[in-house]
Amino acid sequence: MRVLWLLVACSLASGEPPAERPPCTDCADAPSSAVEGAAAASSGGCGCGGLSREGGPAASSAKTSGAEAAAVEQAAGEGETAAGVDEAARPSVTPPRLLQVQGGEFTMGHDNRSVSPSTFDEDGEGPSRRVVLDDFLLGETEVSNAQFAEFARATGHVTDSETFGWSFVFVGQLTDEANKASSQAVQAAPWWIAVNGASWRAPDGPGSDALGADRADHPVTHVSWDDAVAYCEWAYPKLTPAEGEAGEGAAGEDGRGRGRLPTEAEWEYAARGGAAAGKKRRTFPWGGSLSPGGKHRCNVWQGTFPTENTREDGHATTAPVHAYGSQNELGLHNMVGNVWEWVHDIWTIYHLAPTRGEPPLDNPRGPAAGPERTKKGGSYLCHRSYCNRYRVAARSQNTPDTGTSNLGFRCAASVDHNERVNVAGLAGLSRAGA
């Protein structure tokens, strides 16, 4: 059955008077059609890379204090206990398993502008450059709603979207309640709606539940770069000398071995298959064809964006973090498609490539300063005709406080052979790519 997002978008123009609108950059009254203004949209694809909270937080009456959000967290926890939730039926709340990726040299980026003419220069996909990486650890999957919920419960962490009181939701997944309460769209991408009450807990806006039976094992969304970093540091702590094995030390001042976000170079290297892939220059983690043999390997848009999604891959929005099986030799799931993933690097479209005879770039970590952070992998909103960014070399960006319904993350950690990350946090360390 086809999903007609246009019907949802049109309903924004009717119904009960909206609540006070959450401010956002370049927002306007929601259009009567989700495709209104699409012709004027640029190669920004689904438009999520241009979303920002600029101008919103300071003026937003919907912004909540940390104490208020913490009270909501406590009340939610008490409600679950009172309802007698069957803990045995819940998806795992243990942090995703980290796979050890053997380091090596590879070619990052590409030089073939014809692969995606609209994004090659705009997104800084080139030039290709030789990079060498140390061994590192990378999450087998994206972090799920259930896993992030355990972090929030254990630490009382309040996300940026909860603090601001609103987040960006794709128009096609708005709940009825969110549809009535929101009427502000982003002018350049009118299918993005700033929704009061949208957060990781309510990914489709008020009335939705990230911890519902059909959503708990989907990737957490509406998390900022800082939220993602906080989770990774909590989920994969470093052992102290007393906790470690003989001869192993505690965490150094540089935090090596502690949970973190992957660098863009680490992410791309792993997505390409790491050392196991040799010198293969893959478009996707598994090869050069999006759907080899007619089999769907990832969660992206089918049909006509943004009005019609035929869901040929089985999902209209997010999919479970283990959906489609591993995408390459390393055993990694959903590296492309499903949700965009924050990485460590500050955003830039300018890259220096070593010249012939010069050594490769050594564990690059991006610029030292800048207003935006990089994200990789594309999402369920990507389509070749509109947002061809679900390729290994593709990339985009957001301001670090941004939250959207198609943006999540996976964790990483450095490998220090004299020290180790907390094995309990790893939920079973597995070596891949050796």
Question: Could you tell me if 401 and 160 are in contact, meaning their C-beta atoms sit under 8 angstroms apart?
Answer: yes
What are the sequence ranges of the domains in the chain? Answer: 3-432
Tokens of 370: 């800048």
Structure confidence at residue 277 (pLDDT): 77
Q: Residues 212-222, buried b or exposed e (16+ Cβ, 10 A)?
A: eeebbbbbbbb
> Rounded to whole angstroms, how far apart are CA atoms 239 and 69?
31
Per residue in 56-104, pLDDT (tens digit) is: 433 343 444 444 444 444 434 433 433 333 444 456 799 999 999 999 9
Structure confidence at residue 14 (pLDDT): 33
385 exposure class (CB count in 10 Å sphere: 0-12, 13-18, 19+): exposed
Tokens of 285: 């983690």
> Rounded to whole angstroms, how far apart are CA atoms 204 and 217?
16
> Rounded to whole angstroms, how far apart are CA atoms 210 and 150?
12
Structure confidence at residue 199 (pLDDT): 98
Question: Could you tell me if 284 and 336 are in contact, meaning their C-beta atoms sit under 8 angstroms apart?
Answer: yes
Helix (H, G, I), strand (E, B) or coil at 72: helix
Structure confidence at residue 232 (pLDDT): 97
Structure confidence at residue 189 (pLDDT): 77
> Rounded to whole angstroms, how far apart are CA atoms 99 and 231?
18
> Rounded to whole angstroms, how far apart are CA atoms 305 and 324?
22
Helix/strand/coil percent split, the chain, to 5 = 25, 20, 60
Structure confidence at residue 2 (pLDDT): 35
> Rounded to whole angstroms, how far apart are CA atoms 6 and 307?
5
Q: Which of 194, 196, 204 shows the shortest CA–CA distance to 28?
A: 194
Structure confidence at residue 49 (pLDDT): 64
Tokens of 277: 């892939």
Structure confidence at residue 258 (pLDDT): 86
Structure confidence at residue 92 (pLDDT): 74
Question: Could you tell me if 346 and 120 are in contact, meaning their C-beta atoms sit under 8 angstroms apart?
Answer: no
Structure confidence at residue 50 (pLDDT): 64
Superfamily of domain 3-432: paralog of FGE (formylglycine-generating enzyme) (3.90.1580.10)
> Rounded to whole angstroms, how far apart are CA atoms 172 and 381?
10
**pLDDT-flagged residues of the chain (< 50):** 1-23, 25, 28-43, 55-89, 241-257, 422-434
> Rounded to whole angstroms, how far apart are CA atoms 321 and 208?
19
What is the residue-wise DSSP string for 124-152? T--S-EEEEE--EEEESSPPBHHHHHHHH
* Phi, psi values for residue 132, rounded to 5°: -120, 135
Structure confidence at residue 95 (pLDDT): 96
Q: Is the dihedral angle over the CA atoms 116, 264, 146, 285 positive or is it negative? A: positive
Q: Which of 37, 47, 317, 9 shows the shortest CA–CA distance to 183?
A: 9
Question: Could you tell me if 46 and 390 are in contact, meaning their C-beta atoms sit under 8 angstroms apart?
Answer: no
| Single-letter amino acid code for the residue at 115 | V
